[in-house]
């Protein structure tokens, strides 16, 4: 069964919009676990407009499941990850002003950098996943970096799902097959939701983990957090 890691960035966005500590991000992380999340994901950005670096520090000791920290491995991010020591770090090539993740790594151009930073995290016992587009050549070159997993950037799948789901998923199936052949673990995330998640999960070989935030937290406004997490878990059976 594919693991569900809940990204709680949007909860922090609501908190930061008003100041203070409502909603309480730490309580939300603990509740997500209690309601069935098998992991918690955060993506702190340099401007700390949602998850703050201190949130990552405070969340880690509260968790019983896996902690995944996503982000561009600039110096401040790398120091944070090494300090917090999560189970997994997901490397994402975000520009500082990016609203949300919008591209995967070019593992050919950035191979030397990704290889060096992967060694740094591995030396501290942290599993490394590289955020990547569903391009077979990029996945093959990711192997050379020494990473443990790749996370498929699923925005294109989600955007085209309602038009033609068979066509939308085709490059992801090929990418997943390539990852499995190369011995890489496989994660996925971005714009997965209750409409498109089951089809993706049913058709992607070797899928180990999905990280879902925006859609899940949005659904929770209507359904409640506990019912929403249960609904997403059902899609992954």
Which residue numbers are catalytic?
A: 43, 70, 190
DSSP 94: -
How many Cβ atoms from other residues are within 10 Å of residue 107's Cβ? 24
| DSSP states along 62-80 | G-SSEEEEEE---HHHHHH
Closest CA to 43 of 11, 68, 17: 68
Cα 149 from chain centroid (whole Å): 12
- Please say whether the beta carbons of 29 and 59 come within 8 A: yes
How many Cβ atoms from other residues are within 10 Å of residue 27's Cβ? 12
> Rg of the chain's alpha carbons, rounded to an integer?
17
- Please say whether the beta carbons of 142 and 172 come within 8 A: no
State the Cα–Cα distance between residues 202 and 220, nearest whole angstrom.
24
> CA torsion sign, 7 to 8 to 14 to 15?
negative
First to last CA, the chain: 6
């Amino acid at each position: 069964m594919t693991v569900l890691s809940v990204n709680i960035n949007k909860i922090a966005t609501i908190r930061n919009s008003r100041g203070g500590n409502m909603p309480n991000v730490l309580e939300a992380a603990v509740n997500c676990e209690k309601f069935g999340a098998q992991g918690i994901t955060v993506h702190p950005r340099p401007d700390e407009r949602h998850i703050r670096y201190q949130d990552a520090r405070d969340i880690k000791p509260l968790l019983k499941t896996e902690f995944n920290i996503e982000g561009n491995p600039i110096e401040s991010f790398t120091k944070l990850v090494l300090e917090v020591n999560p189970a997994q770090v997901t490397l994402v090539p975000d520009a500082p002003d990016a609203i949300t993740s919008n591209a995967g790594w070019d593992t050919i151009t950035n191979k030397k950098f990704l290889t060096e930073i992967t060694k740094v995290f591995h030396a501290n016992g942290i599993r490394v996943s590289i955020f990547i587009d569903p391009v077979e050549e990029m996945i093959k070159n990711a192997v050379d970096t020494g990473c443990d997993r790749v996370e498929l950037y699923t925005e294109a799948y989600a955007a085209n799902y309602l038009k033609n789901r068979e066509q939308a998923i085709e490059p992801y199936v090929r990418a997943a097959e390539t990852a499995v052949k190369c011995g890489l673990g496989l994660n996925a995330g971005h714009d997965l939701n209750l409409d498109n998640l089951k089809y993706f999960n049913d058709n992607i070989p070797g899928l180990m983990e999905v990280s879902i935030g925006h859609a899940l937290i949005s659904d929770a406004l209507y359904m409640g957090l506990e019912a929403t997490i249960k609904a997403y878990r059902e899609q992954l059976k």
